[in-house]
Amino acid sequence: MPGSSLFSLTVLVTGATSGIGYETARLLAERGATVLVHGRTAEEARAATDRLVSTAGIPAERVCPFGADFSRLDEVEAMAERVVVEHPHLDILVNNAAIAAPERHTVTTDGNELAFQVNFLAHYLLTGLLERALTRVPGSRVGRVVNVSSSLHRTGSIQWSDPNRARRYARLAAYAQSQLALTVFAADPRVTAVSVHPGICETALLPLYGHNGATAADGASHVVRLCDPAVEIVNGAYYDRDERVEPAPAATEERTVKRLNKLADVLVGHSG
The residues that are catalytic are 175
Going by the DSSP 8-state scheme, the letter that residue 188 receives in this structure is -
Task: Give the bridge partners for 195, in sequence order.
Answer: 147, 238
Cβ-based burial of 33 (10 A; exposed 0-12, middle 13-18, buried ≥19): buried
Dihedral of alpha carbons 167, 168, 169, 174, sign:
negative
Torsion of CA 99, 44, 133, 190, to 10 degrees: 0
90 close to 105: Cβ distance less than 8 angstroms: no
Q: DSSP readout, 98-160? A: --PPPSS--B-TTSSBHHHIIIIIHHHHHHHHTHHHHSPPTTSPPPEEEEE--GGGGG----T
